[in-house]
């Protein structure tokens, strides 16, 4: 194993020289690659074009009325049914909204702030409201908390999910803890899948706060790179067995199945929560875009077909993830200071180099490769170890990926050797 | 002129007899007609089907990037441009959202409640927040106020808009008045168009509250029954001349141009407000449904073409409004106790019979014809005179309209004669 800090002065100087000239050569190419966000590539977006091509021939008159007209605030029956099957819950436990699951989560929290949860005190009226934030995690979750002045408590992400000893102890003892973020499958950015034990312990949490809610953001529910091999335990199955289903808000969206931000997003929760939320939504919106829901149901058809569609996405994404793994292994396979995730799904790879993330992201940026700002994967953008870099390999072409990884590799080497 | 209350006892008895037997004959038909909401008819919804039929051939790659991917939180440039032309403002003054203008208005108020307006105190932290509510008006406006505990002050609607003497005096003196609802063109439910003088006085309001906002809900901006004859003065033109454009939120939507609740809705306001709102929206949503925006721009094309599309809607709606006018004139043309509006656009006819609205709506309901609940057009559902009935003639067929108006007429007669 190489340990950069243990090399001789001469070895370091030579390697630094090599890395610097490799870096300068790459930089001089003037290529720009944006890997900041988990966006689908153009090639992936083409997969859903038949949905638009056939839009004129779908049947917009549903059992609930005419989807082109007002009505059905919880979404069309067929869409609720489809998302229920996808999340393995009942149709009556699902509301189908417009395209953004971020918007659903934001609204759920804003409802809680303004009106309280199921008769509880509005969170706006409490001295403190806290959320547990497994980290590294999804920056947009954390920014919702910042927006509302919700205090974030960082919980370490372990190999099989958040540190559940810590979660149980905090949630069970502090009634100002009102929520917790989770991306339980192919987690953003580490790619891990919560183990059955973690899912079970999550569903069996005994929160001190009655209005505590788990935001189970299942953004990558069918986003495996290797088929449907990684099975996430159904949290509602456990929750229903212990009567905790009011505690769970599960979110999914088609942003990475059809069109990013122009798809359909859905919430699964208890029937009692659904009824309560529909009363709130009444004041806000007559119905979601049901024409888009008809189009999505007609195109996606059923869970089996969604999996077929997702295997086309996987075929496009997998080579990019594998290229990353190959090149990083070749460069740092024997180096104990550079760690990276080997995700089997989702949209991100997580790279960890303690004390060097900011410098690496900055170097890469100067050479034309934009990564998400270092620290973004932590609450308050504070990565105590300055370690985590989030890589989003979906947008670049294979050639761009080659270039970007080369830039990353030389940037990592420079950062390790210059210090 | 007939005055039902001045008839002799015998005359009244005879007319009551006639009305009752007409009513019973209609009731026995067992027909059901729903005229509760301003929904487009099936025939109208067909007008926009080419938008779906051609959805596969539109160009989804715009100057701002790929509309099928994340980005452009203010909507695609072409959609902002189109709505800017429709509202006669600049593109930079427009944000294009998803389908529901109700949702935009709700969010604007929720932002103000939670965060304040442009640096002002969050409305949640004030002892009282009041809105001016010209009435009769749109029930969904009033229910947003009820939802947030905003106190509603009723302002009478006159022939040319709200009573501006009252509005100026209240807004100028009470800094707890933070907003005002307006449907300035073909107002819901009276159908009136605000006069140039009213628009000018609205734009020149000098509110005591710096964070006072006018919700200029221009829902029927191109919804004339007789072409483009009724011109609403552009409030921004006046506002810009006096520097009050921060005060105006103008809303439009395509719910009654393409598909109800599945269209596109837009906000026009000052550039400074747009910039401020985009900062808020960042936490909430990555972008609106831009695929739907491309479809709408491709189908609607330009303002001229929108007017052509709207003339097709007018051709379907006009006969229903005219049938109403004909039958009501024949029944009550010489009766001073029954008044009704003769709108030149929009979706509603307003009927006024003092002291009898509840009874009439109830009688009609028993005979199979559902009108919006009496009182709904007033804040707190309190119509002090129990006078106003909102008629939504768009959904029923001409035959159903015949039936519904006959039921209404006999119900009015019974209500007037039984008292």
> In the 3-class helix/strand/coil scheme, how is A261-302 assigned residue by residue?
CCCCEEEECCHHHHHHHHHHHCCCCCCCCHHHHHHHHHHHCC
- Do the Cβ atoms of A34 and A407 come closer than 8 Å? no
Q: Taking residues B74-83, what's their average pLDDT?
A: 98
Q: Taking residues A235-263, what's their average pLDDT?
A: 98
A16 SS3 class: helix
The overall pTM is greater than 0.90: yes
Q: Which of A52, A107, A148 sits opposite B55 (nearest CB)?
A: A52
**Percent of residues, chain B, with pLDDT higher than 70:** 100
pLDDT, averaged across chain A: 96
- Over the stretch A69-98, which tens digit does the pLDDT of each residue have? 999 999 999 999 999 999 999 999 999 999
Please tell me what DSSP assigns to residue A109.
H
Query: Is some CB atom of chain B closer than 8 A to the CB atom of A149?
Result: no
Sheet holding B94-97, edge to edge: B94-97, B265-268, B248-253, B213-217, B177-182, B130-135, B151-158, B161-162
A contacts of B37 (beta carbons < 8 Å): 70
B contacts of A292 (beta carbons < 8 Å): 262, 289, 292
- Over the stretch A208-227, which tens digit does the pLDDT of each residue have? 999 999 999 999 999 999 98
Residue B228 has pLDDT above 80, yes or no: no
A contacts of B124 (beta carbons < 8 Å): 114, 124
- Over the stretch A250-266, which tens digit does the pLDDT of each residue have? 999 999 999 999 999 99
- Over the stretch A173-201, which tens digit does the pLDDT of each residue have? 999 999 999 999 999 999 999 999 999 99
Residue B10 has pLDDT above 70, yes or no: yes
Which of A34, A50, A51, A260 should we substitute to test contact with B (largest number of B Cβ atoms within 10 Å)? A260
- Do the Cβ atoms of B158 and B395 come closer than 8 Å? no
Closest-CA residue of B relative to A112 is B114
Number of Cα atoms under 13 Å in the Cβ half of residue A94: 25
pLDDT score of A101: 97
B contacts of A53 (beta carbons < 8 Å): 55-56
> Residues of A numbered 36-55 whose beta carbons fall under 8 angstroms of chain B's beta carbons: which are they?
37, 39-40, 42, 45, 48-50, 52-55
Report the gap between the CA of B240 and the closest CA in chain A (Å). Answer: 30
- Do the Cβ atoms of B349 and B391 come closer than 8 Å? yes
Residue pairs between chains A and B whose CB atoms are closer than 8 Å: 146
Query: Is some CB atom of chain B closer than 8 A to the CB atom of A100?
Result: yes
CA B282/CA A144 separation, integer angstroms:
9
Reported as a pLDDT band with limits 50, 70 and 90, residue B309 is very high
Of A7 and B133, the one with more pLDDT = B133
pLDDT score of B138: 97
Between chains, do B114 and A106 touch, taking CB under 8 Å as contact? no
Q: Taking residues B319-331, what's their average pLDDT?
A: 97
Of A91 and A229, the one with more pLDDT = A91
Closest-CA residue of B relative to A106 is B284
| Helix pair B196-203, B164-173: axis angle to 10 deg | 0
Distance (Å) of CA B371 to CA B322, B383, B386, B408: 18, 15, 14, 10
pLDDT score of B6: 85
Query: Is some CB atom of chain A closer than 8 A to the CB atom of B195?
Result: no
Backbone φ/ψ region at A243: left (φ over 0), alpha (ψ -120 to 50), beta = left
Query: Is some CB atom of chain A closer than 8 A to the CB atom of B98?
Result: yes
Which of A101, A217, A289 should we substitute to test contact with B (largest number of B Cβ atoms within 10 Å)? A289
Query: Is some CB atom of chain B closer than 8 A to the CB atom of A59?
Result: no
pLDDT score of B3: 82
Closest-CA residue of A relative to B105 is A284
Q: What is the largest CA-CA distance in chain A?
A: 77
Q: Taking residues A227-245, what's their average pLDDT?
A: 95
Which of A264, A291, A299 should we substitute to test contact with B (largest number of B Cβ atoms within 10 Å)? A291
Between chains, do A260 and B70 touch, taking CB under 8 Å as contact? yes
Phi, psi (deg, nearest 5) at residue B31: -85, 145
CA A47/CA A62 separation, integer angstroms:
26
pLDDT score of B4: 85
Residue B5 has pLDDT above 90, yes or no: no
CA-CA-CA-CA dihedral for A295, A297, A303, A307, to nearest 10: 0
A contacts of B71 (beta carbons < 8 Å): 261
Residue B419 has pLDDT above 80, yes or no: no
Between chains, do B261 and A286 touch, taking CB under 8 Å as contact? yes
pLDDT score of A229: 79
Reported as a pLDDT band with limits 50, 70 and 90, residue B1 is low
A contacts of B290 (beta carbons < 8 Å): 261-262
B contacts of A262 (beta carbons < 8 Å): 67-68, 287, 289-292
A contacts of B62 (beta carbons < 8 Å): none
pLDDT score of A374: 95
Between chains, do B53 and A53 touch, taking CB under 8 Å as contact? no
Lowest mean pLDDT among A3-17, A104-118, B49-63, B92-106: A3-17
Reported as a pLDDT band with limits 50, 70 and 90, residue B86 is very high
Q: Taking residues A316-326, what's their average pLDDT?
A: 97
Closest-CA residue of B relative to A101 is B285
Residue A135: other Cβ atoms inside 10 A: 25
Closest-CA residue of A relative to B49 is A56
CA A36/CA A45 separation, integer angstroms:
18
Please give the radius of gyration of chain A, using alpha carbons only, rounded to the nearest integer.
23
B contacts of A45 (beta carbons < 8 Å): 66, 68-69
The per-residue b/e assignment along A3-19, b for 16 or more CB within 10 angstroms, e otherwise, is ebeebeeeebeebbeeb
- Do the Cβ atoms of B258 and B48 come closer than 8 Å? yes
pLDDT score of A3: 82
Report the gap between the CA of A124 and the closest CA in chain B (Å). Answer: 9
pLDDT score of B182: 98
> Residues of A numbered 244-273 whose beta carbons fall under 8 angstroms of chain B's beta carbons: which are they?
255, 259-262
Residue that has been written with the tokens 């006085």 in this structure: B201
Q: Strand pairing partners for A2?
A: A335
- Over the stretch B257-269, which tens digit does the pLDDT of each residue have? 999 999 999 999 9
Please give the radius of gyration of chain B, using alpha carbons only, rounded to the nearest integer.
23
Which of A38, A283, A288, A293 should we substitute to test contact with B (largest number of B Cβ atoms within 10 Å)? A283
pLDDT score of A366: 98
pLDDT score of A227: 86
Report the gap between the CA of B339 and the closest CA in chain A (Å). Answer: 30
Closest-CA residue of B relative to A280 is B147
- Over the stretch B337-366, which tens digit does the pLDDT of each residue have? 999 999 999 999 999 999 999 999 999 999
pLDDT score of A1: 62
Between chains, do A45 and B283 touch, taking CB under 8 Å as contact? no
- Over the stretch A290-309, which tens digit does the pLDDT of each residue have? 999 999 999 999 999 999 99
Between chains, do B103 and A56 touch, taking CB under 8 Å as contact? no
B contacts of A106 (beta carbons < 8 Å): 283-285
CA B139/CA B375 separation, integer angstroms:
9
Q: What does the DSSP assignment read for B246-267?
A: GGEEEEEESTTTS-TTSS-EEE
The answer to whether ipTM exceeds 0.90 is: yes
- Do the Cβ atoms of B357 and B388 come closer than 8 Å? yes
Please tell me what DSSP assigns to residue B41.
P
pLDDT score of B73: 97
Closest-CA residue of B relative to A105 is B284
């Amino acid at each position: 194993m190489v340990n950069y800090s243990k090399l001789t002065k001469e070895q370091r100087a030579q390697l630094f020289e090599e890395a610097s000239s490799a870096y300068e050569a790459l930089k001089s190419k003037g290529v720009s690659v944006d890997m900041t966000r988990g966006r689908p590539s153009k090639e992936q977006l083409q997969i859903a074009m038949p949905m638009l091509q056939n839009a004129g021939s779908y049947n917009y008159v549903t059992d609930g009325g005419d989807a082109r007209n007002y009505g059905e605030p919880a979404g069309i029956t067929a869409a609720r049914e489809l998302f229920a099957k996808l999340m393995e819950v009942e149709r009556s436990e699902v509301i189908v909204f417009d395209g953004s699951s971020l918007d659903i989560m934001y609204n759920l929290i804003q409802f809680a702030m303004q009106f309280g949860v199921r008769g509880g005190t509005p969170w706006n009226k409490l001295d403190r409201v806290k959320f547990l934030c497994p980290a590294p995690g999804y920056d947009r979750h954390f920014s919702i908390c910042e927006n509302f002045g919700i205090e974030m408590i960082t919980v370490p992400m372990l190999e099989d999910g958040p540190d559940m000893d810590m979660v149980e102890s905090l949630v069970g003892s502090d009634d100002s803890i009102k929520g917790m973020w989770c991306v339980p499958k192919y987690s953003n950015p580490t790619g891990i899948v919560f183990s059955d034990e973690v899912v079970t312990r999550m569903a069996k949490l005994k929160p001190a706060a009655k209005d505590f809610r788990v935001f189970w953001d299942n953004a990558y529910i069918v986003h495996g790179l290797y088929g449907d091999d990684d099975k996430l335990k159904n949290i509602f199955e456990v929750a229903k067995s212990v009567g905790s289903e009011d505690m769970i808000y599960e979110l999914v969206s088609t942003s990475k199945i059809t069109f990013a931000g122009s798809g359909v997003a859905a919430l699964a929760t208890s029937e009692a929560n659904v009824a309560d939320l529909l009363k709130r939504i009444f004041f806000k919106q007559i119905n979601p875009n049901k024409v888009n829901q008809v189009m999505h149901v007609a195109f996606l058809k059923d869970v089996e077909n969604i999996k077929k569609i997702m295997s086309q996405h996987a075929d496009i994404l997998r080579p990019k993830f594998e290229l990353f793994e190959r090149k990083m292994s070749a460069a740092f396979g024997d180096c104990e200071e550079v760690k990276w995730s080997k995700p089997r799904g989702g949209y991100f790879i997580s790279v960890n180099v303690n004390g060097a993330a900011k410098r690496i992201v900055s170097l890469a940026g100067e050479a034309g490769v934009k990564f998400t700002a270092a620290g973004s994967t932590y609450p308050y953008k504070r990565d105590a170890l300055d370690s985590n870099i989030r890589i989003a390999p979906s947008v670049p072409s294979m050639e761009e990926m080659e270039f970007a990884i080369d830039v990353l590799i030389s940037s990592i080497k420079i950062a390790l050797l210059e210090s």
